Amino acid sequence: MKTFGRCHCGNISIEVAELPTEVTSCNCSLCRRYAGLWAYYAPGEVNIHYKDTEKSVYIWGDRDIEHHRCHHCGCVTHYITTEKCPVKRVAVNARMADPELLATLKVRQVDGASF
């Protein structure tokens, strides 16, 4: 596993099997507010480490995605699909990565607002 990034206070840190080369910027009602840049993985390709066991999660709409944020510093670190979603996926937010990695990533625009 490779170090991907962490939240501002360091409570949540993220490792991935391979660093991404491309991330998604989505204009849906939630992603545009979070300003997330998402890199997608299968569940076994990501390790999420919490220093603190308390989790803070936001679920809305179809209830098929859990957005996770640090309950100390508020950074939105990743999302995980729930049992309601047929696709098992973890998306990590490249905003948590070091600027050096972030600068190398191609950003793909996704029109989530139209779905």
Report the C-alpha gap between 93 and 95 in whole angstroms: 5
* Nearest residue to Zn ion, by Cβ distance, number only: 70
Report the C-alpha gap between 38 and 31 in whole angstroms: 9
Other CB atoms within a 10 A radius of the CB of residue 70 amount to: 23
Minimum CB separation of residue 76 from Zn ion in Å reads: 10
Minimum CB separation of residue 71 from Zn ion in Å reads: 8
Q: Which residues bind Zn ion (CB under 5 A)?
A: 7, 9, 11, 70, 72-73
| Residue 66 contacts residue 55 (beta carbons within 8 Å) | no
Nearer to Zn ion, 39 or 96 (CB): 96
Nearer to Zn ion, 11 or 24 (CB): 11
